[in-house]
Amino acid sequence: MVRFESVGLRYGRTGGRDPSPEVLHDISFELPEGTFCWLRGASGAGKTSLLRLMYLAVLPTSGKLTLLGADIGQTPRAGLPPLRRRIGVVFQDFRLMPHLTAFENVALPLRLAGGSDAQIRADVTELLRWVGLGRKLYTLPEELSGGEQQRVAIARAVITRPSLLLADEPTGNMDEAQAERLMVLLAELNRIGTTVVVASHNDALVERHPAAELRLDRGRLVDEA
Amino acid sequence: MKVPAASARASRADELGLRRALPGRMLPLLVAAMALLAALSVAGWIGTSALARQWREGAGTAMTVQVPRPNEPGAKPESTRLAAAVGLLSGTKGIASVHVLTEAELTDLLRPWLGESAGQLALPMPAVVAVRLTGEAIDLAALGRGLDDAAPGTALEDHGVWIRRLSALAFSLQACALLALTLVGAVSIAVIAVATRAGLAARRDAIEIVHGLGATDGFIAGRFARRTMLLAASGGFAGAVIAVPALLALAKFAAPFAEHPNPSPGPVMLLSALPTPLWGSIAALPVAAVLIGFVTAQLTVRRWLRQLP
């Protein structure tokens, strides 16, 4: 499902005599299909960079990355969009489209996947009701609270029932009850086969939901439990 | 909750928020100006072509023969020099008609240079013969030799020098029109490319989000191309509409030089004065604007997207 083999990552200058510093060094691990995994580490440890590699926002500058059965280094650029459609991401800063309603934000991945209008309407409405936004389907993000925006972002990430779900500090703006509700959703998706990777600082949450852990320190994988 | 379908459709058609990133005023205005310039350039090209053809057909099918001492005996003593020259011309294949200019016609020709005294010249004047050709090939050198034999000193003026000079002038004007049209096209492409790049910069976040959600380059470029096409079409249409009265005004100024001059043509006559190819070109302006908008936006966006993995 997800395999890192001696993966390194640099931003900016990737070669030449004066390359940019490496933000991830020699990362190797494997997550089988259906894994639930916490990604831990202090701020700046490289959690977000590791997630960016996993949702193909950046490509490794060294090593080999295999995602959803595809060797990314050998996959042509045109082959990456179909892979991205099988990956759901919950961003730390939500990354909602400000000019689109909650409904249209959540519908976007389905539209990119070529879903029918009727199916999109049914699925999106049901999911937004499930996350407690049934009365705010056609509200713009700027009119939603931080927690509500986060729920829209989560709904957008899971609407396609992705094979791989990545979340970067998804409970950062949530109260404990909302965080638990999100964990129920993630656990449910994991139960039906989705591989879930969650970067979190929330020690209490991690302790309440024990699972495999990847721990990063200054760009290196220091512990795999 | 009731679904506001129109709102949903509107959002769906503009996932990237391009209505704000590519506003609907400046680009259509610039494209309209380019379309107007293109119409003027095409009109220049077509007008020059028509003028060159008119010159060729007018001067190229006529000759002038000057016979000095026309009433003196020619090579054959039984006829005058003029009669001998006219006889030779009339019997030559490729000559449609031969007309010996009268005294009054000669005086009219000279009046612009000599004024009212043109009819009272003491100098002996040659006879002038206006010859119209059928368009068939004619051996002018052999004809000139024949005329010289029949009436020595007879001069044959075939207007070839003037035709060549006028043709060169017409070619230069056509080249200028073509250059102007090429520049208009190039500037249009540059304007649309700059507007598209500004739109890309303004919507970078939105593009990165849909890219991350699995949008293909074709999807993103298609959204930009659709918006650019719409704006270019409106600009091209406006430019074409504005071009019609501008060209009619030019046609009115050029009326005295037209094939069938009418110094004060009415509006209906003016409309018919614009040649069919020019009407076709005006109609094609919005289509050309759409094509340029589509291709330029597609190429600009696809090139920009190469920076994303």
Q: Any idea what the Cα angle at residue A105 is, between residues B303 and B217, rounded to 5°?
A: 15
At B199, the pLDDT band (50, 70, 90 cuts) reads: very high
Neighboring chain A residues of B11 at a CB cutoff of 8 Å: 99-101, 104
Quick one: tokens of A200? 């979190």
With 60 as the cut, is the pLDDT of residue B78 above it?
yes
How close is the nearest chain B Cα to the Cα of A208, in Å? Answer: 31
Q: Characterize the bridge pairing of strands A220-224 and A212-217.
A: antiparallel
Closest CA to B47 of B259, B302, B297: B259
Neighboring chain A residues of B210 at a CB cutoff of 8 Å: 108, 112
Per-residue model confidence as pLDDT tens for chain A (225 residues) = 899 999 999 988 777 777 788 899 999 999 999 999 999 998 888 999 999 999 999 999 999 999 999 999 999 999 999 999 999 999 888 899 999 999 999 999 999 988 899 999 999 999 999 888 989 999 999 999 888 898 899 999 999 999 999 998 888 777 788 788 888 888 888 998 899 999 988 888 888 889 999 999 999 998 665
* Domain locations along chain A: 31-59+76-224
Calpha distance B113→B117 (Å, rounded): 10
Calpha distance B5→B2 (Å, rounded): 9
Q: Can you list the domains of chain B with their CATH numbers?
A: 16-57+169-305 (no CATH), 61-158 (3.30.70)
Residue ranges of chain B whose CB lies within 8 Å of a chain A CB: 1, 3-4, 7-8, 11-12, 14-15, 17, 20, 205-206, 208-217, 219, 309
Calpha distance B95→B63 (Å, rounded): 10
The residue type at B193: A
Mind listing the pLDDT tens digit for each residue in B14-41?
Answer: 888 888 777 778 899 999 999 999 999 9
Q: What are the Cα distances from residue B8, in Å, to A101, A139, B25, B55, B154?
A: 8, 11, 25, 63, 88
How close is the nearest chain A Cα to the Cα of B303, in Å? Answer: 13
At B105, the pLDDT band (50, 70, 90 cuts) reads: confident
Neighboring chain B residues of A80 at a CB cutoff of 8 Å: 309
Torsion angles phi and psi, residue A162, rounded to 5: -70, 155
Neighboring chain A residues of B217 at a CB cutoff of 8 Å: 78
Note whether A81 contacts B15, CB cutoff 8 Å. Answer: no
Calpha distance A85→A162 (Å, rounded): 7
Map tokens 């006829």 to a residue.
Answer: B79
Residue B134 DSSP code: -
Note whether A100 contacts B8, CB cutoff 8 Å. Answer: no
Residue of B3, B7, B9, B11 to mutate for A, most A C-beta atoms under 10 A: B11
Closest-CA residue of chain A to B217: A78
Mind listing the pLDDT tens digit for each residue in B126-171?
Answer: 889 988 888 777 888 888 888 888 888 888 887 777 777 888 888 8
Note whether B3 contacts A104, CB cutoff 8 Å. Answer: no
At B13, the pLDDT band (50, 70, 90 cuts) reads: low
Q: Under a CB-based contact definition with an 8 Å cutoff, are residues A36 and A211 in contact?
A: yes
Q: Under a CB-based contact definition with an 8 Å cutoff, are residues A135 and B1 in contact?
A: yes
Give bridge partners of residue A195 from the DSSP assignment. A164
Neighboring chain A residues of B208 at a CB cutoff of 8 Å: 57
Give ipTM to 2 decimals.
Answer: 0.89
Q: Any idea what the Cα angle at residue B205 is, between residues B203 and B210, rounded to 5°?
A: 95
pTM, two decimals, is 0.78
Specify the CATH class of A31-59+76-224 in words.
alpha beta
